[in-house]
Structure 1
Amino acid sequence: MTITKRSKILNEITNGPIIPQILMLFFPVLLGTLFQQLYNTTDAAIVGRFVGKNALAAVGGTTSMVIGLFIGFFVSLSSGFAVIIAQRYGAGDDEAVNECVHTSFAFSLIIGILLTIVGTTLAPKILLLMNVPTEILPDTTAYIRIYFIGIIPNLIYNIGAAILRAIGDTVRPLFFLIFGCICNIILDSIFVILLKYGVRGAAIATILSQALTSLMVLAVLSTSKGSYRLSIGKIHLNMLFLKKMVYLGMPAGFQNNMFNIANITIQSAVNNFGTESMAAWAAYGKIDSIFWMSIQALGIAVTTFIGQNYGAGKKERIKQGTVKSIFLAVMITLIIMFCILSLRNYVFLIFTNDENVIKIGIGILMTIVPLYLTYFLIEIFSSILRGLGDTLIPMLLTALGICVFRVIWVFTAVKHYNTLHTLVMAYPLSWIITSILFIIYSLFLSRLKNFLFIKSNSLTY
């Protein structure tokens, strides 16, 4: 990237209308997250329709939980890397940006090797602890092992995309994911439908598609003219920057893992209700992901916006950005709630024709979706605080309000009232508790209060 182009992107984020700038960051991330989600959704839809509900249960909820436990930690950890890069990029420190880029890739390769070993050896043991039914255990184990064999390209793409988003480039990661998703659909059709490889074919299709997207992000970063250019021969660990990036990213990584551990606890309880409930939960999870990928995409956009303006010393824009981000979150949440509730009788048909599975899935949907509005403040405040470099306390609040509460709920309320409805109520109840904690901390105790309560000179929409 030339200096002129770099200055133009930086100026757009640190000056001018706020809502259009956040949306310009948001939509490419949203579409990118959509296509990222379509990897696993495509696998679930194709095996569910062409192999059966047992295959849907194998590829759906349980595998997503286990994969998320490992991959989600790294992706969340990379958010700390992105915050440092966004702040240094906003401050115009090109040397620091370049050091962070090469350190990020070195760290990714090390973690990738470790995850390949740990994932292929420990994942099957985790499945046994999660009470996975014996009829789907072989397929579930095979899918996860194949996925982890190809994990390094996945990490390379994620860290490369995080770097590009940190400097304000959200479009190219989107193109890479669209290409990868199209490849995954084609390869799924070949391996699952034509070659009849079943669940294993879906896993092979996924890792091959991810390998292609990783090559694309490497090509872009290696040919860049900007401070974030990647030189393969210069990949190394700068311990000073690594310490800073891990310090910011580690709380988000632990937060992600606590989320997954809590959800694995719930998934284990769902597994006790049988294969039909597992299939319904897996299908609902794909529908539910529409909300999560949307609100999390907004969170990524907000973190980039806040991080660069914090690096540039723009206090007033941080205040205005907070207000506008909350407004956007409310609008996005209401739109998604309306769409899902309106189409609730049809969306499950994408995954299965089994009437009982659909009935159970609709029951889950009607319990959770109407209460989405109790969550969005958690994502927005944690994203703003992350952009300011405040990650530890938000992690602790999330751990207490969501993760600890859900585990306690499973072993108390669900134990005494052993129904699926009681189990899924853990989600909205935990959101309400955590939202209250975030409101108190963000408005009155965090460094954000120093920006929110400054006198406004003007408002920029």
Structure 2
Amino acid sequence: MNECRAFNQKRGMRMHSKNVNMLEGSVVKGILGLTVPIMLMNVLQSMFNIIDSTVLKMFGNDGGTAIGAVGVCGVLITLITCLVIGVSAGANVAIAKHIGRKDPEAVERAVHTSIAFAAVGGVIVMVIGILGAELFLTWMNCPKELLPQAALYFRLYFAGVPIAAVYNFSAAILRASGDTRRPMMYSISGGVVKVVLTFAFTAFFKAGVVGVAMATIASWLLSATLALWKLTHTDTVVRLSFRKVRFHKMEMKQVLHVGIPAGLQQALYSIANVLIVTAVNASGPDASTGMSIANNYDNLMYQVSVAPSLAVMSYVSQNVGAGNIGRAQKSVRSGMLLTVCMGGTLGALSAIFSGPLASIMTDNPAVIMYAQQKMVLVSSTYFICGINEILGASLRGLGKPTVPTASTLIFMCLLRLPWVWFIYPLVPGNLTFLYLIWPIGWILSLATELCWYFPAIKKLRAQHATL
């Protein structure tokens, strides 16, 4: 351990004293130290989204239509957001492994390659989103009365995607070094600005969905600026210099090796959800709005349940890079315990109080009923999704990034095709039955990933035993 400390103080490998040391000390405390800031950040972001919907209801010119328009865009927007966050996981894993291997030059190249990729990739996604807004929404059976506002919100939102991409990659870089506190602070700062601006634009300027979109972009801009400022002024191994931002072939391959499967996995979640949303939209505007309201709370459950997976991914990556396989495995167990405790508790509360929670954002009894149908079933089982995410994160850190992607493709995407097209029509209109595919897919994916996780651990132990 003394060798580790000495190395961290030379050749640019210095780590900030407040960062979590993933190679030494208590694993449980380390996982908690990484998870709590991530969880608080995610929970507050979800709360900010709920506040947005509430403000639209209270002060919008046509709150119901505005909420529905934003909600219809939700799944497609989540698809892109998850894709960006998923690909940024490649930067997290690559940088964390180089830190574990004590290779400061490789860390530097990976940091600057990641920022370059975020900027270029963000612009490409922005152009696609702006040009294809109405086409994508039409594919999803967006109700005609919601389409004009939904398309406007969609285009404005995508105009800010490059900023969001740069922030997410910057946050991934900081987390790879053991710093989850600052990304949390930057995200919360942006969220507060978003709430204030949403209120101002909606209540005073009656800007509706335009105000919500502009407030969102402003929040991203603040968060990205703060994260970039920290990276350019830090004296640790992950220091950023804009003059050095460029693509490095080897590091780009390393980022994409994990990032593309992780991004595809997250995108597949959203693509699969599009199938469900399309079926729900066929039941009318009340069903669409009800699902939109439920999604706000379900997203909160999701963020709490999966927060430990980001910590586990960094922990596993650094310790695999350093050859500490037992420590990596212990971090996985600790993350699972946290997920069950936090996700299970909040999920149960969300299901029990689904009616009062839904009524915060609407007075329409039919919409409340539709929201409850999803919250009771899906929110209460999101902790299973969290365990599945932890296994996926650990497999990426163990060098098996395609396994969680394949599992997601089969059980959370392809399986939904026969469910939506052939099984659900047997009980048409029963949305509770439709939503049952979520926990079924999570359980099957979890079982599959376990079958790959244990052999991967065994193989790595054998490899390091012979060194």
2:34 to 1, 25, 28: 25
Unmatched segments (≥5 aa) in structure 1: 455-461
Shift of 1:369: 3.1
Say if 1:33 and 1:374 are closer, same or farther in 2 by CA, change over 3 A.
Answer: closer
Instruction: Identify which range, 431-440 or 280-289, moves more after superposition.
Output: 431-440
Instruction: Identify which range, 433-442 or 88-97, moves more after superposition.
Output: 433-442
Q: Secondary structure of the residue that 2:77 maps to in structure 1?
A: helix
Q: Secondary structure of the residue that 2:21 maps to in structure 1?
A: helix
Instruction: Name the counterpart of 2:396.
Output: 386
Kindly provide the amino acid, as one letter, of the partner of residue 22 in structure 2: I
Instruction: Name the counterpart of 2:54.
Output: 45
Matched, 1:284 2:286: no
Shift of 1:195: 0.3
d(CA) in 2 for partners of 1:145, 1:124? 9
Matched, 1:409 2:446: no
Instruction: Name the counterpart of 1:458.
Output: none
Matched, 1:124 2:140: no
Q: Secondary structure of the residue that 1:267 maps to in structure 2?
A: helix
Kindly provide the amino acid, as one letter, of the partner of residue 95 in structure 1: E
Q: Secondary structure of the residue that 2:326 maps to in structure 1?
A: helix
d(CA) in 1 for partners of 2:240, 2:414? 41
Shift of 1:76: 0.3
Kindly provide the amino acid, as one letter, of the partner of residue 325 in structure 1: G
Q: Secondary structure of the residue that 1:133 maps to in structure 2?
A: coil
Matched, 1:178 2:188: yes
1:12 to 8, 21, 37: 21
Unmatched segments (≥5 aa) in structure 2: 1-7
Q: Secondary structure of the residue that 2:123 maps to in structure 1?
A: helix
- The answer on whether the counterparts of 2:95 and 2:107 sit within 8 Å (CA) in structure 1 is yes
Matches within 5 A, 1:188-337: 188-337=198-347
Say if 1:450 and 1:319 are closer, same or farther in 2 by CA, change over 3 A.
Answer: farther
Say if 1:156 and 1:370 are closer, same or farther in 2 by CA, change over 3 A.
Answer: closer
Kindly provide the amino acid, as one letter, of the partner of residue 16 in structure 1: G
Shift of 1:10: 7.6
Matched, 1:431 2:442: yes
Instruction: Name the counterpart of 2:378.
Output: 368
Instruction: Identify which range, 253-262 or 75-84, moves more after superposition.
Output: 253-262
1:71 to 73, 77, 81: 81
Kindly provide the amino acid, as one letter, of the partner of residue 187 in structure 1: L
Matches within 5 A, 1:105-120: 105-120=115-130
Once the two structures are superposed, what CA deviation does each residue of 1:169-205 show, in whole Å capped at 9, x if it has no partner? 0011111111111111110011111100111111111
* TM-score normalised according to structure 1 size: 0.93
d(CA) in 2 for partners of 1:10, 1:151? 29
Kindly provide the amino acid, as one letter, of the partner of residue 271 in structure 1: N
Once the two structures are superposed, what CA deviation does each residue of 1:271-308 show, in whole Å capped at 9, x if it has no partner? 11111111110111111112210122110011111111
Instruction: Identify which range, 215-224 or 415-424, moves more after superposition.
Output: 415-424
d(CA) in 2 for partners of 1:324, 1:203? 38
d(CA) in 1 for partners of 2:78, 2:347? 24
Q: Secondary structure of the residue that 2:354 maps to in structure 1?
A: coil
1:395 to 405, 417, 423: 405
- The answer on whether the counterparts of 1:70 and 1:119 sit within 8 Å (CA) in structure 2 is no
| RMSD over equivalenced CA pairs, Å | 2.0
- The answer on whether the counterparts of 1:319 and 1:451 sit within 8 Å (CA) in structure 2 is no
Say if 1:251 and 1:316 are closer, same or farther in 2 by CA, change over 3 A.
Answer: same
Q: Secondary structure of the residue that 1:13 maps to in structure 2?
A: coil
Matches within 5 A, 1:52-63: 52-60=63-71, 62-63=72-73
Q: Which has the bigger relative contact order, CA under 8 A and spacing at least 6?
A: 1
2:353 to 323, 343, 346: 343
d(CA) in 1 for partners of 2:361, 2:398? 41
d(CA) in 2 for partners of 1:368, 1:176? 30
d(CA) in 2 for partners of 1:64, 1:435? 26
Q: Secondary structure of the residue that 1:260 maps to in structure 2?
A: helix
Instruction: Identify which range, 418-427 or 202-211, moves more after superposition.
Output: 418-427
* TM-score normalised according to structure 2 size: 0.92
Q: Secondary structure of the residue that 1:229 maps to in structure 2?
A: coil
Shift of 1:99: 0.5
